[in-house]
Structure 1
Amino acid sequence: MPLKTPDTNSSTHVVHRRELLKLTGAGVAAFGAASMFNTPNAKAQTMSNEWDKVFPRSQKVNHEKVTFENRYGITLSADLYQPKNTSVKQAAIVVSGPFGAVKEQSSGLYAQTMAERGFVTLAFDPSYTGESGGEPRNVASPDINTEDFSAAVDFIGLRPEVDRERIGVIGICGWGGMALNAAASDKRIKAVVASTMYDMTRVMSKGYNDSVTPQQRAETLEQLSRQRWQDAEKGTPAYGPVSLELKGGEAQFIVEYADYYKTPRGFHPRAINSNGSWSLTTPLSFMNMPILTYIAEISPNPVLIIHGEKAHSRYFGETAFAAAAEPKELVIIPGATHTDLYDQVDVIPFDKLTSFFNQHLAA
């Protein structure tokens, strides 16, 4: 059944919706566009065993499709990568992101590469997205998506080949903020990396570079609240237009998003940013729940924040780094943009990631 979209005949609705999109990410690029996939209840979709990633399969690691449940009973789908020919318990890394992506894209690339370097890794689809369960589709939550990281730790820590005292996480883009939030409360996470991170609660509540005024915020909350009436009346959430359909004149970072999500470089049919949109009311739960409030409490476990020198999102990483407690590191990649750290293997500092986790997940 195709998803319903909100009535756009009303000029008042159009004006408010433009303000909503401006506030919650300067258009839909930060979190995508209308899902064409439905998953019943909280169960995961049937997963194909065929290789359906946007990156080549490595012959150096074993790959397995797996599922597990989070604390809310939602079944999450994931890809497990393991080094070949190992006989001792290994350190493990859980990976997710970017916001609106699927495990067949950037997170899977990170996971497979780190498995080549000796770690058992898990790349998962967050609740309500990709092959993971949860309805309605294409909804995000700072609480549930933080829990998704901890549920992944539950799963990988019970694997017989994993040393449960040596587990780290990597969050990419919007899931960088989620990873930091998870590490602040889940002390089983012994080391955390946020790569090209977004603080989604900050950008949704304050806009890019904190440019939204209190009046604009109030107007957006009013519109979001009224959108709930429309969703309740129709019995289904409203969604925006398919994301990243460029018409010319977009900001450079929007063009960079489209170059990843809408081209063979990174397109995947299950990714919201490639082929769908978040529900219009998704920002509600983000707008007054700042997820990095307790970032200093990650300490004494270490934090590594990686950003591109030319990334429009760099200020998120620098602010998070300033708020974090020691031990912490900030790595700025010269010349790199936000999306370079999605998939450019000659730009992503995998050597640094490896040394960081080798040091802090040592036996």
Structure 2
Amino acid sequence: MKTAVTFPSAGLRLAGHLYTPDDRIGGRRPAIVVSHPMSGVKEQTAGLYAERLARAGFITLAFDAAYQGESEGEPHLLEDPSHRVEDIKSAVTFLILRDEVDAERIGALGICASGGYVIPAVATDHRIKTVATVSAVDTGSMFREGVGRTQAPEVLQAMLDAAGEARVEEARGEPARLQQIHPDTGEQAMSLGQHTYDGWEYYRTPRGSHPRSANHFVFRSIDLIAQFSAFERIELVSPRPLLMIAGTAAATAYLSREAIEKAAEPKELFWIDGATHVDLYDREEYLPTVIAKLDDFFTAGLGAASSAVPLHGLR
């Protein structure tokens, strides 16, 4: 069952979808926070993963990050890594306050950019007992260095100059300057490479598009993103279990490989053979394997989803 919910995060109200299993087992269950990619909303891949994991027996929460989708925050479409990390922690608080959730069995799942945001959230929030990522991305690295670290240094310097100008424009009362994310056409996207085309094909076609996935971000987000480093303290996740899932054909696969090397045990990097970064968002060729792996991982870390803890005697 899917229920629309709201909860606070650093002074803003976030909109989410709470997924609960359809069986009628009573008591408190393990729960998983599911966080979406940078340009996504809860109705896209995060909601798909949340729904599939709820079928496996977990309570799951997919939500729109601050400034995104149906959540509060102005200027809308600002991408603030620090707030994204706080949103994940606030989602955990929301779940802990739910009668149907076992507060001692909460995990987190981050997809794409949230695969980067979820790591610092878990590193310092011991309420989260286990964490997984799918197609993880460090947005800071991507903006500083480009995909594959092929971006010339002067590109970032020019963007930071423009971000400063954009801040002044907003202070003068002008609308927030926006930056388009995906090209207008498939031909334009393909001319920029397969990775760009894959993102366009998911977000800008009926495959994955959603009216609130706006294809823009506030330009001055760049000076917030550029100072962010997703995996700098990844070793603090230990001794809690870490699973990172990536496609062998993903342009971003090196980020998961490097992150898992820095992490402490217990940890696992699980490869999906032949999959690209965006394939893992929704492709039925790969999704059952990913969900089965996540089910096994969260069951091992949080306990069987079907074994609810009785309500009496807790809290």
When the two structures are superposed, what TM-score results if normalisation uses the length of structure 1? 0.79
Residue 204 (structure 1) shift: 1.2
Question: Which one of 249, 253, 266 corresponds to residue 314 of structure 1?
Answer: 253
Q: Is the 8 A contact 2:143 2:156 kept in 1?
A: no
CA distance in 2, matches of 1:210, 1:253: 14
Q: Is the 8 A contact 1:142 1:291 kept in 2?
A: no
Q: What's the counterpart of residue 276 of structure 2?
A: 337
Q: What's the counterpart of residue 208 of structure 2?
A: 266
**Alignment deviations for residues 318-361 of structure 1 (CA, whole Å, 9 cap, x no partner):** 11111111100001100101111101234031111001000000
When residues 308 and 242 of structure 1 are mapped into structure 2, their CA distance, relative to the original with a 3 A threshold, is closer
1:85-234 alignment runs, 5 A limit: 85-234=24-173
When residues 134 and 254 of structure 1 are mapped into structure 2, their CA distance, relative to the original with a 3 A threshold, is same
1:352 aligns with 2:293: yes
Aligned amino acid, residue 264 of structure 2: A
CA distance in 2, matches of 1:132, 1:302: 30
CA distance in 2, matches of 1:250, 1:219: 20
Q: Is the 8 A contact 2:182 2:196 kept in 1?
A: no
CA distance in 2, matches of 1:140, 1:220: 15
Q: What's the counterpart of residue 56 of structure 1?
A: none
Q: What's the counterpart of residue 238 of structure 2?
A: 299
* Contiguous gaps of at least 5 residues in structure 1: 1-61
How many equivalent pairs are there?
A: 298
CA distance in 2, matches of 1:157, 1:239: 36
Q: Is the 8 A contact 1:102 1:129 kept in 2?
A: yes
Residue 234 (structure 1) shift: 4.0
When the two structures are superposed, what TM-score results if normalisation uses the length of structure 2? 0.91
CA distance in 2, matches of 1:255, 1:193: 26
Aligned amino acid, residue 293 of structure 2: K
Residue 188 (structure 1) shift: 0.6
CA distance in 1, matches of 2:85, 2:238: 18
Aligned amino acid, residue 117 of structure 2: M
CA distance in 2, matches of 1:306, 1:272: 27
**Alignment deviations for residues 291-325 of structure 1 (CA, whole Å, 9 cap, x no partner):** 32111001011110000010111111111111111
Aligned amino acid, residue 206 of structure 2: P
**Alignment deviations for residues 26-53 of structure 1 (CA, whole Å, 9 cap, x no partner):** xxxxxxxxxxxxxxxxxxxxxxxxxxxx
1:75 aligns with 2:13: yes
Aligned amino acid, residue 79 of structure 1: H
* Contiguous gaps of at least 5 residues in structure 2: 305-315
Q: What's the counterpart of residue 362 of structure 1?
A: 303
CA distance in 1, matches of 2:52, 2:285: 12
